[in-house]
Amino acid sequence: MNEQEKNPMEPNMDEALPTEFGDLPEGSPAFDPAALSTVFDLAVPVAIELGRTRMSVQEVLALGRGSVVELDRLVGEPIDVYVADRRFAEGEVVVVGEQFGVRISRIIEKSPSTMGAAS
């Protein structure tokens, strides 16, 4: 590809210059806790997963009122709580008035192997 055929949106790596960053002072936090408060009002999607199953298209098309779909979870087994598509906690289904709820029983710790990975 010659110079005229290059995509103007792609950076020209021949013109890229290295950047040097200064060291942070000893003991300084990696972030300002006050700045974190700016995200407290953000809404994130929360999903509760009771279980999963696989069905053929024919089985899905046969579903109707009163059909029962069997899931891969056993009664009493914890359900998963997802926050922004990341498995965040486990819990149990509870009834709150006339609605269902989830009582959190365990927060899922992020493993060291996934600390740098985007979830």
pLDDT digits (tens, 9 = 90+) for 73-90: 998 899 999 999 899 999
pLDDT digits (tens, 9 = 90+) for 94-113: 999 999 999 999 999 886 65
| Domain range list for the chain | 47-111
Phi, psi values for residue 86, rounded to 5°: -115, 130
Of residues 11, 20, 85, the one with CA closest to residue 46 = 85
Higher pLDDT, 109 or 69: 69
Least confident piece of the model among 16-30, 46-60, 64-78, 101-115? 16-30
- Mapped to the 3 state alphabet, what secondary structure does 89-114 carry? EEEEEEEECCEEEEEEEEECCCCHHH
Higher pLDDT, 29 or 81: 81
Mean pLDDT of 55-64: 97
Note the helical H segments in the chain.
33-36, 57-61
Q: Quick one: tokens of 40?
A: 């407290």
Higher pLDDT, 18 or 49: 49
What CATH code is assigned to 47-111? 2.30.330.10
- State whether residue 82 is helix, strand or coil: strand
pLDDT score at 19: 74
- State whether residue 69 is helix, strand or coil: coil
Please give the Cα distance from 47 to 63 (Å, whole number): 23
